[in-house]
Amino acid sequence: MTGTLALLAGTAVLPWVLSAHRARRRCAALAVAAPAAREAAAHEAVDATVVLELVGAAVRAGAGIPRALAAVAESLGGPDGVALTRVATALRLGAPWGAAWDGAPARFAVVAGALRPAWEEGAAPGSALTAAADELRRARREATRTAAGRLGVRLVLPLGTCFLPAFLLVGLVPVLLALGSGVLGGG
């Protein structure tokens, strides 16, 4: 009898023991993966609007364009930081504007375009950087609105396919059955 009770108790406790063991394994795996995930997240591609704002802040603080790009590159790190460091170094060494930006990520073309008049003509870069960031945000908002509109149109058929039978079964069939039983019962 005690053997049976022990077996039942062991069977009842076994799922919790196994889930606790699995949880410890998962936690250990996450602890190992967390630094790698943080490192990968630290070197993800940086949005061009962030770079525009950072360069704008550095320029408003009094840094020249090469120094502002170098400061932003230092704060970004990763491949984006390396690319901006190359641009800043090339500009300091006297490379032409287009040649300095060769090899930079394509998403930084808006940064190069906003800074070009300041570098070549001596115009103040602050307003150009702000305008470029605002334009980039506006274009993204417009693209998001367009995608949301397309999604609404694409969802009509699947939602109609799901809700129409449910409406018929829950809303119409009981009414028809009540009417039919009233007609048959009254006649």
User: Would you give per-residue pLDDT tens digits along the chain (187 residues)?
Assistant: 555 545 545 555 455 545 555 656 665 665 565 555 445 445 567 888 899 999 999 999 988 999 999 999 999 888 989 999 999 999 999 999 989 999 888 889 999 999 999 898 888 888 899 999 999 999 999 999 999 999 988 888 888 888 888 888 888 888 888 888 877 765 5
Q: Is residue 36 part of a domain?
A: no
Q: Is residue 41 part of a domain?
A: no
Position 128: which residue type? A
CA atoms of 182 and 187, how far apart (whole Å): 8
pLDDT value, residue 33 = 54
What's the angle, vertex CA 69, arms to CA 44 and CA 63, rounded to 5? 140
Q: Is residue 183 part of a domain?
A: no
Spatial CB neighbours of 130, under 8 Å, sequence gap ≥ 6: 52, 56
Element (H, E) at 135: helix 125-167
Q: Which domain holds residue 110?
A: 48-141
Q: Count of domains in the chain? A: 1
Q: Is residue 87 part of a domain?
A: yes
Q: Tokens representing 104?
A: 């930079």
pLDDT value, residue 15 = 58
Q: Is residue 25 part of a domain?
A: no
Q: Is residue 62 part of a domain?
A: yes
Burial (CB count <10 Å: 0-12, 13-18, 19+), residue 135: middle
Strand, coil or helix: what is 167? helix
Spatial CB neighbours of 128, under 8 Å, sequence gap ≥ 6: 114, 115, 117, 118
